A and B are shown apart, each in its own frame.
Chain A
Amino acid sequence: MGELKFEKDFSEKLNKRKIVPKAGSWTELSARLNSEEKSKNPMFWWIGIAATIVGGILIFSVLFNEPISENPIVVDAPSKVIFKDKSEPLQISSEKLASEELKSPEKASEKPAKTLISKKEPVINLEPSAMANAMDSTQKKNDRNEQDPDLKVKTKISGIHEEMIAEASLKGIKTGNVTDAEVDALLAEATDLISRERSANPVSENIDADALLFNAEMELEQSFREKVFVVLKESYLKAKTSVANRNN
């Protein structure tokens, strides 16, 4: 279907035509364009603010959910670790002590021997009533130092030594002769006994599970508080900067 004659005429005339729009049409259009641009900027800011709020909520939710899920795990783990940590050095120290005493009986015997030699004369001169007093005083000391494991060990050793000295002195009183070899043998026996006792009972009685749990919880709570404070500070700074930028 071709173009008709009148259509050609219509097309030429209509395509050449120009109708001038009313005055102020451009101002109307520019106002619309301005409002469009202004509406774009607040949208951007609102999106930014909404994103920060959502981010903050997510971080808070993650932080609040963490303790619930981690509690059982965290409480179990440190208790084991702490138990090992505390028990090992104690065992090592006790074992070291025992081994040192066993390995070097000469050294161990030398020291008490020296003390014995130095204390021999006054001890021999002591009466049985004075000896009993001395024993009581050592027992009291033991009771005082029960709380401290190291002190307990030391006092135990010293107590045994004193007992042995007392026995030796009694023997010496009875028989009148106490040889160095007998003293050494008695000391070796005593150290052997102590080492056996320690190996049989590792210092488990001193570890309080509740106290360990409490300590672990306190540590956890501290770290959680720190995290919350850090997050709050960050979000506050972000909000502050965004508000400052908006005002600018």
Chain B
Amino acid sequence: MKVIPLIKNETQLIARAIKNNRGAQQCLYDLHSGKMLSVCRMYIKDLHHAEEVMLNGFFKVFKHLAEFRNEGSFEGWVRRIMIRECISFLRSEKSLEIKDEGLDDFNGSCNDIESDMNVDEIQQLIDSLPEGYKVVFVMYAIEGYKHQEISKMLNINIGTSKSQLFKARKMLQEKLRTQNISDYGRVKI
């Protein structure tokens, strides 16, 4: 019951924002800026840079708002713009170098590891990953992109995307294992 008026409000806001209504644009910004800054923060370690990238993303959103056709959700459309903006930022910083690495020493994923970490700890864990691993992992595991989409967006092979994900998972599992052991130790103490 509450969702329908919200969607109606959002479409009205979008219609006004297309006509450069600053009030409507501010409403849309206030609605989505928190989530979008979180998205940018997943890819970019520095919060100040993440915020800058988010502002660039919103600038593009309002500039090309007339191109949004209400086919999907507005949040999804904005999210995609933000992710592209983050990738282009990382490329400009030359920190995003993805190399094709083999899967020779990887024997499959272990699905028994659980985590009981809070958001900040998870973010810290993700930040500890190399840029290539991190971007592919976030895009696949958090954003839900397929390897084909990731390979297109990052201009890499599907195999490279898969290998990056495997390596990221392996590193995270190892870190989680060590963290769990230390946590158990703490509990014991």
Contacts and interface: CB of A to CB of B under 8 A. Distances in A.
A29 B141 contact: no
Contact of A7 (B29, B59, B112, B141): B141
Nearest to B42: A14
A21 B54 contact: yes
A5 B29 contact: no
A6 B113 contact: yes
A89 B130 CA distance: 104
Nearest to A30: B22
Interface in A4-37: 4-7, 9-11, 13-22, 25-26, 28-30, 32-33, 36-37
A148 interface: no
Interface string B140-180: 01101000000000000000001001000100110010000
Instruction: Please indicate which of the listed interface residues A26, A29, A32 has the most CB atoms of chain B within 10 Å of its own CB.
Output: A29
A211 interface: no
A3 interface: yes
B62 interface: yes
Contacts of B165: 1
B119 A2 contact: no
Given A14-B38, A18-B38, A29 B119 contact: no
Nearest to A13: B119
Contacts of B123: 14
B26 A4 contact: no
Given A10-B141, A17-B38, A33 B59 contact: yes
Interface of A: 1-7, 9-11, 13-22, 25-26, 28-30, 32-33, 36-37
20 contacts: A4-B141, A5-B111, A5-B113, A7-B142, A9-B114, A9-B122, A10-B122, A11-B144, A13-B118, A13-B122, A14-B38, A19-B38, A20-B34, A21-B34, A21-B54, A26-B30, A29-B58, A29-B59, A36-B59, A36-B63
